[in-house]
């Protein structure tokens, strides 16, 4: 009987460096930039005393509408497939998934499993659950990239960027656009999409072998891609604008929540700067290994809005208010809805 192989310390170390090194680097940079205005935290009580808490209630309402738009997007994506689910049940499922992703950090895998579990009770297959989850991500990504580009254009137009910064952000923009074009072409043509996915799988499996992980089977990829394209054909018979409207509503209302959180502390930011700050925060949060950009999002928001002209203490207070509403409150509600859904099942 063979003894189980115990990974060497060096291999374990390289795996952890790959997974968390980029996050730690970004976190360290944000902490370094955040440190100069830590002293301004002493004025936090003054800011809280003068806060307009009616705006806080408005921020919660706007975020609820944002989540309602996200629910509408998922409801529309599921509609063409076999299964039955109400809009309100879908609205209870989404925060539950958000809570599970934080409670069981697994790079989003726990959320995918929980989504399949909940939707399976309503008659949807695992493939449909995964496929609609991917499409939700793609629709939201379109608007998030659009907002990031709008913020970049604002910085260029107002002359806020230096030559080196323009080169760096321009390179990132070109890379994002090139990737988006590849994804779009792959989504429209089955054979080219499968060929591109196979090439990426080869690269992925080589990387997994270097870290002594099991490669992903080629036949599994072929099966899932066929299901994906079959689903696209079914969705192709429906109009696109409701999907774009709900996805856009989700992102735009989330940006509006952030703007209202700044208004709580009597600060109004031009829409161009608001889009810039939101877009840059998306980029920084995407580097985080923790779910929802936990920790890094708070630091990056405060740093970015301070650099864009907001008073340091206002930026910190508005950031914490936004994260409380858009991240923690949703997950608190998700814990409750999860318990309710489990009991009713």
pLDDT of res. 287: 47
pLDDT of res. 4: 47
Say if residues 24 and 16 touch (Cβ distance below 8 Å). no
Three-class DSSP labels, the chain: CCCCCCCCHHHHHHHHHHHHHHHHHHHHHHHHHHHHHHHHHHHHHHHHHCCCHHHHHHHHHHHHHHHHHHHHHHHHHHCCCCCCCCHHHHHHHHHHHHHHHHHCCCCCHHHHHHHHHHHHCCCCCHHHHHHHHHHHHHHHHHHHHHHHHHHHHHHHHCCCCCHHHHHHHHHHHHHHHHHHHHHHHHHHCHHHHHHHHHHHHHHHHHHHHHCCCCCCCHHHHHHHHHHHHHHHHHHCCCCCHHHHHHHHHHHHHHHHHHHHHHHHCCCCCCHHHHHHHHHHHHHHHHCCCCHHHCCHHHHHHHHHHHHCCCCHHHHHHHHHHHHHHHHHHHHHHHHHHHHHHHHHC
CA 267/CA 261 separation, integer angstroms: 9
Query: How distant, in Å, are the alpha carbons of 50, 57, 254 from that of 263?
Result: 12, 12, 14
pLDDT of res. 249: 94
pLDDT of res. 291: 47
CA angle 11/12/18 to nearest 5° reads 90
CA 100/CA 108 separation, integer angstroms: 9
Residues 6+ apart with CB under 8 A from 252: 143
| Residue ranges covered by each domain of the chain | 45-136+243-344
Q: Would you give per-residue pLDDT tens digits along the chain (345 residues)?
A: 444 444 445 544 555 554 555 455 545 554 554 455 555 555 556 677 778 888 999 999 999 999 999 999 999 999 888 888 999 999 999 999 988 887 776 666 788 888 999 999 998 888 788 888 888 988 888 888 888 777 777 777 776 666 666 676 667 667 766 766 666 665 566 777 777 777 777 887 787 777 777 777 777 777 777 776 776 676 666 788 899 999 999 999 999 999 999 999 888 888 888 888 887 777 665 544 444 445 556 666 777 787 777 887 888 888 888 988 988 889 889 999 988 888 877
A 10 A CB-CB count for 270 gives: 12
CA 301/CA 261 separation, integer angstroms: 12
pLDDT of res. 14: 53
pLDDT of res. 320: 84
Say if residues 76 and 305 touch (Cβ distance below 8 Å). no
pLDDT of res. 72: 96
The token pair that represents 314 in the structure block: 């206002």
pLDDT of res. 45: 62
């Amino acid at each position: 009987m063979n003894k189980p192989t115990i990974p060497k310390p060096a291999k374990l170390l390289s795996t952890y460096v790959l997974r968390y090194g980029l996050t730690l680097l970004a976190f360290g940079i944000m902490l370094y930039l955040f440190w100069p205005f830590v002293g301004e935290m002493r004025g936090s009580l003054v800011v809280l005393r003068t806060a307009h808490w009616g705006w806080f209630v408005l921020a919660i309402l706007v975020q609820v509408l944002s989540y309602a738009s996200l629910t509408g997007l998922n409801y529309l994506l599921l509609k063409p497939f076999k299964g039955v689910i109400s809009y309100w049940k879908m609205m209870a499922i989404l925060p539950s998934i958000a809570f599970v992703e934080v409670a069981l950090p697994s790079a989003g895998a726990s959320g995918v499993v929980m989504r399949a579990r909940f939707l399976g009770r309503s008659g949807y297959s695992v493939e449909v659950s995964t496929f609609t989850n991917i499409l939700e991500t793609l629709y939201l990504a379109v608007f998030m990239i659009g907002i990031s580009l709008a913020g970049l254009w604002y910085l260029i137009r107002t002359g806020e960027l230096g030559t080196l910064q323009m080169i760096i952000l321009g390179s990132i923009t070109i890379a994002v656009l090139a990737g988006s074009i590849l994804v779009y072409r792959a989504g429209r043509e089955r054979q080219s999409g499968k060929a591109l996915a196979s090439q990426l799988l080869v690269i992925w499996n080589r990387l997994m072998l270097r870290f002594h992980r099991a490669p992903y089977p080629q036949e599994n990829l072929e099966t899932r891609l066929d299901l994906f394209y079959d689903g696209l054909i079914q969705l192709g018979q429906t109009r696109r604008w409701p999907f774009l409207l709900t996805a856009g509503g989700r992102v735009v209302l989330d940006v509006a929540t952030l703007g209202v959180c700044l208004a709580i502390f009597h600060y109004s930011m031009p829409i161009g700067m608001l889009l810039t700050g939101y877009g840059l925060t998306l980029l920084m949060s995407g580097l985080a290994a923790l779910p929802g950009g936990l920790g890094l999002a708070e630091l990056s928001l405060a740093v970015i809005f301070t650099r864009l002209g907001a008073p340091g203490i206002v930026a910190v207070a508005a950031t914490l208010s936004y994260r409380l509403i858009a991240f923690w409150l949703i997950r608190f509600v998700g814990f409750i809805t999860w318990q309710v859904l489990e009991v009713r099942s």
